Amino acid sequence: MKKTAIGKTLGILGGGQLGRMFIQSAISYNATIHILDPDAAAPCRPLAHQFTQGDLLDEETVFQFGMQCDLITIEIEKVNTNALKRLQAAGKEVYPEPEVIQLIQDKRLQKAFYEEHGIPTAPFRLTSDRADAQRHTDFLPAVHKLGRDGYDGRGVQIIREAADWDKAFDAPGLLEKLVPFSLELAVIVAKNTAGEVKSYPAVACAFHPTANLVEYLYAPAPISPEVEACAQALARQVIDALDMTGILAVEMFLLEDGSLLVNEVAPRPHNSGHHTIEGNFTSQFEQHFRAIMGLPLGDTPCAALRLWLIYSVRLVSRVKRS
Ligand SMILES: Nc1ncnc2c1ncn2[C@@H]1O[C@H](COP(=O)(O)OP(=O)(O)OP(=O)(O)O)[C@@H](O)[C@H]1O
Ligand SMILES: [Mg+2]
């Protein structure tokens, strides 16, 4: 018989700040949390029931860690997926599914997946190294992206003209058409083990011009109800196509004509969803927990009305007391 959420041992690969926020949600449900992270001073260490220091990319380390848990999830995609497949074969639950993590680890596979599944995305060409990329001057202006291991914009270079080719990566990657987007949007969507799907209202992300990191998040996004509906539908299309369990952040470009293109996805809590901790009925962390533990998903709308009600009641009771 499957254990309920309460009493299950949940193993998280990665013990950084996302894991720490995840534990703060999970702890309300009385699950036992084990963490694996290479850093002895990982942010999760003081909050976890058990902490193991180890390499997330080492197959045996991940496998042995997972064998002590009922269910394994991630807070970072750079993990050994062979070990996760072996854990699944040994009867452990692994969410998101190892095949999804494998796909997301490589932007080349990810783009091919969108194309295969009719998911709108910017036109692209695969490149094997810098010399190969330089053969595509006819495709400029474009963005050269590293296939693997890019994050926080570090695997992305804009190539506007042939003079920029020295910025291209000398490793397997892809060239993507430079998209003249009017906004960058993100929709967080979740699917639980029973197939129930819920998504959060879209947010708009504004990036720091040089650091290439999200600097401001606008929630709700300043978009029309029609664009909001399209963004929601697109996020659902992606999670359905991936056939995955857990939370998925879908990054999109909004074009001037109102159409949307998927940029990339992350199958874990994401920096475009931190506002949900205070701003929405269910935080992205609790939603991920609910999704993978087989619980019904929580409500996703903005909880501004609830906050307004709580503060009004407090104000009224204070006035009454004085
Ligand atoms: N085809 C494109 N056209 C225009 N701008 C792009 C394109 N692709 C990426 N960018 C810009 O570069 C940013 C980083 O790209 P991308 O999301 O692919 O990389 P990343 O390293 O995974 O970033 P992060 O980890 O911050 O999500 C995007 O958010 C966007 O601002
Ligand atoms: Mg991105």
Q: Which atom of ligand 1 is nearest to the CA of 213?
A: 26
**Cβ 239 vs Cβ 297: under 8 Å:** no
Whole-number pLDDT of residue 304: 73
Is residue 306 scored above 70 in pLDDT?
no
More confident position, 79 or 318 = 79
Q: Could you tell me whether strands 246-255 and 214-218 are parallel, antiparallel, or unpaired per DSSP bridges? A: unpaired
Pocket test for ligand 1, best of 212, 254, 261, 268 (most atoms within 8 A of CB): 212
Q: Does residue 148 have its Cβ closer than 6 Å to ligand 1?
A: no
In sequence order, the β-bridge partners of residue 126 are 174
Q: Does residue 184 have its Cβ closer than 6 Å to ligand 1?
A: yes
Going through the chain in order, the beta strands assigned E by DSSP cover 9-13, 32-37, 50-53, 71-74, 93-94, 124-127, 142-146, 156-159, 173-177, 181-191, 197-199, 203-207, 214-218, 246-255, 260-266
Whole-number pLDDT of residue 152: 73
Is residue 314 scored above 70 in pLDDT?
no
Q: What does the pLDDT average to over 284-313?
A: 85
131-183 confidence digits (pLDDT tens): 999 999 999 999 999 999 887 778 999 999 999 999 999 999 999 999 999 99
Is residue 116 scored above 50 in pLDDT?
yes
Q: What does the pLDDT average to over 29-46?
A: 96
Whole-number pLDDT of residue 318: 61
52-103 confidence digits (pLDDT tens): 999 999 999 999 999 999 999 999 999 999 999 999 999 999 999 999 999 9
Structure tokens at 295: 């619980």
Mean pLDDT of the chain: 93
Is residue 1 scored above 50 in pLDDT?
no
**Cβ 10 vs Cβ 33: under 8 Å:** yes
Q: Does residue 153 have its Cβ closer than 6 Å to ligand 1?
A: yes
Q: Does residue 151 have its Cβ closer than 6 Å to ligand 1?
A: yes
* Cα dihedral value 12, 14, 186, 295, nearest 10: 10
Share of the chain above pLDDT 70, in %: 93
Give Cα 265 distance to the centre of its chain: 6
Band (pLDDT 50/70/90 cuts) for residue 5 is low
Cα(272) to ligand 2 centroid in Å equals: 10
d(CA 283, CA 21): 10
Cα(156) to ligand 1 centroid in Å equals: 7
Which residue in 54, 68, 57, 55 sits closest to 11, CA to CA? 68
- Domains in the chain: ranges and CATH: 9-94 (3.40.50.20), 123-177 (3.30.1490.20), 181-305 (3.30.470.20)
Whole-number pLDDT of residue 136: 97
**Cβ 103 vs Cβ 110: under 8 Å:** yes
Whole-number pLDDT of residue 282: 97
Whole-number pLDDT of residue 303: 85
Q: Does residue 122 have its Cβ closer than 6 Å to ligand 1?
A: yes
Whole-number pLDDT of residue 150: 85
Q: Say how many C-beta atoms besides its own lie within 10 A of residue 6's C-beta.
A: 10
Q: Which atom of ligand 1 is nearest to the CA of 205?
A: 29
**Cβ 255 vs Cβ 181: under 8 Å:** yes
189-232 confidence digits (pLDDT tens): 999 999 999 999 999 999 888 777 888 999 999 999 999 999 99
Q: What does the pLDDT average to over 9-25?
A: 97
Q: Does residue 80 have its Cβ closer than 6 Å to ligand 1?
A: no
Q: Does residue 143 have its Cβ closer than 6 Å to ligand 1?
A: yes
146-160 confidence digits (pLDDT tens): 999 887 778 999 999
Phi, psi of 2, rounded to the nearest 5 degrees: -75, 140
Q: Is the peptide bond before 225 cis (omega within 30 degrees of 0)?
A: no
Q: What does the pLDDT average to over 1-18?
A: 81
d(CA 245, CA 214): 26
